Amino acid sequence: MSNRIQSASRPQRKTASRRVSFIRWAELDYVLLGAVVVLSLLGCILIWSATLERDDLTGGDTRAFLAKQLVNVVIGLGLMALVVVTDHRWVRILAPIGYLVAIGGLLLVLVMGSTINGSRSWLIVGGMSFQPSELAKLAVIVGMALVVAERSDRRWRDRVGTTDVLLMLLVAGVPAVLILAQPDLGTMLVLTATVFGVIAASGAHRRWLGILAAGGVGAAVVAVMSGMLKPYQVDRFLAFTNPALDPKGAGYNVEQARIAVGNGGLFGQGLFHGSQTQSGFVPEQHTDFVFTVAGEELGLVGAALLVVLLGVVLWRALRIAARTDDVFGRIAAAGIACWFGFQAFQNIGMCLGIMPVTGVPLPFVSYGGSSMFAGMLAVGLLENIHLRTLASPAARIAPQERLLVRS
């Protein structure tokens, strides 16, 4: 009798397991996922257009960069899925390992890295290049979130103390020093803004935000006055203030980017028909200046679509941060939103001439595996936090009731 009961229960357990797995995938934030996928596919098309007439880059294979970026997208989606299905407890256990891997990559760059565009930021192995600083952004966010989460099981109303802030700054400071040693000014700016956002989201006292802001301004002044910045980096800032100072040198990128975006008008010159793009006048157009392809060939409408999709990603990340009761998830999701938001603003701003040229990619759009993999891993973490929030008993309580419970 008991054998029959056990044999009958096995199919039921399998059915229940499949049902749980189905519900898990059905409850993904498909708005976030859809925005990321559309951004990535649009990026592939823009990269294809930017490299179509660039035989110096493609060697005559007009679809080379398109194929490589599609592979990057597929691998990135696989990494995202891996994070989604990983139990949240394992995510927290593996976080320190990911942080150490990122630190190891940054150290390797200083020892055996390759210099591209004046920055020693790349590891080239077997003909493939990787930029460890991209992974470091996510590692710093997760590490800082873990510091606060592991220090104590806090409620939302608890104040993060001085020790917590100092530990978070220590977690961020180690990779920051290694990135400065490359030197990679663009990544450093993004990392600084992200750290500021994470500390703000952690609930630290406002005086810490004032101290960090003042410290950042002071560090920038010292860097300029002491000669820590290389001449080309100083020239980029000067060209930002006045591109006419060196129109054939540091100001060339800014001027050509403005011309390309201005050529687009409302609906653009048509995909694969942009005069600046197809003539190769805009340097690094498939990477740092990919937004100018959308501006010229798809016009204001196409460029606005990119901005709206990026806005959707930020909205969903902040929504996930606001809805979770888990300290680690809240800080990590808010940190990812700060990362994506500032990096997108910096990239689009330099294409429009309202931010200095620093060489940071547009999330999910610019060519490159390092940025794509790090971004997709971050989206996977957001989805993981989202699913855990839905699975918690508090998720079944109305938001108004949750506020009453906390108070």
pLDDT at residue 247 in the model: 65
Predicted structure pTM score:
0.86
Residue 304 CA to residue 4 CA, distance in Å, equals 63
- Whether residue 260 contacts residue 299, with contact meaning beta carbons closer than 8 Å, is answered with no
Query: What's the domain count of the chain?
Result: 1
CB contact burial 316-333 (16+ within 10 A = b; e otherwise): bbbbbbebbbbbbbbbbb
CB contact burial 134-151 (16+ within 10 A = b; e otherwise): bbbbbbbbbbbbbbbbee
pLDDT at residue 244 in the model: 65
CB contact burial 83-92 (16+ within 10 A = b; e otherwise): bbeeebeebb
- Whether residue 391 contacts residue 338, with contact meaning beta carbons closer than 8 Å, is answered with no
- Whether residue 209 contacts residue 338, with contact meaning beta carbons closer than 8 Å, is answered with no
Collect the ranges in the chain with pLDDT lower than 50: 1-20, 154-157, 395-407
The tokens of 377 are what? 């891993």
Helix 327-352 vs helix 132-151: crossing angle, to nearest 10: 150
Each residue's pLDDT tens digit, 200-220: 888 888 888 888 888 777 766
Instruction: Give domain status of residue 310, yes or no.
Output: yes
- Its domain, for residue 124, covers 30-389
Give the CA distances from residue 215 to residues 196, 284, 391, in Å, rounded to whole numbers and listed in that order.
11, 32, 41
Instruction: Give domain status of residue 20, yes or no.
Output: no
The tokens of 392 are what? 């918690």
Residue 129 CA to residue 114 CA, distance in Å, equals 9
Residue 407 CA to residue 192 CA, distance in Å, equals 33
Residue 46 CA to residue 83 CA, distance in Å, equals 28
Each residue's pLDDT tens digit, 211-261: 888 877 776 666 666 666 666 666 666 666 666 666 666 677 888 888 899
Angle at 405 between CA 399 and CA 407, to 5 degrees: 105
- CB-based burial of residue 379 (10 Å sphere; 0-12 exposed, 13-18 middle, 19+ buried)? buried
Instruction: Give domain status of residue 4, yes or no.
Output: no
Q: Note the helical H segments in 265-298.
A: 275-279, 291-293
Residue 269 CA to residue 225 CA, distance in Å, equals 45
Instruction: Give domain status of residue 282, yes or no.
Output: yes
Q: Which helix (H) or strand (E) holds 156?
A: none
What values do phi and psi take at 130, rounded to 5?
A: -145, 140
The tokens of 198 are what? 């994470």
Residue 141 CA to residue 51 CA, distance in Å, equals 34
Residue 82 CA to residue 380 CA, distance in Å, equals 8
Instruction: Give domain status of residue 16, yes or no.
Output: no
Each residue's pLDDT tens digit, 143-182: 999 988 876 554 444 567 788 888 999 999 899 888 888 8
Q: Note the helical H segments in 203-290.
A: 206-226, 231-241, 252-264, 275-279
The tokens of 159 are what? 């104040």
Q: Closest Cα partner for 296 from 315, 278, 311?
A: 278
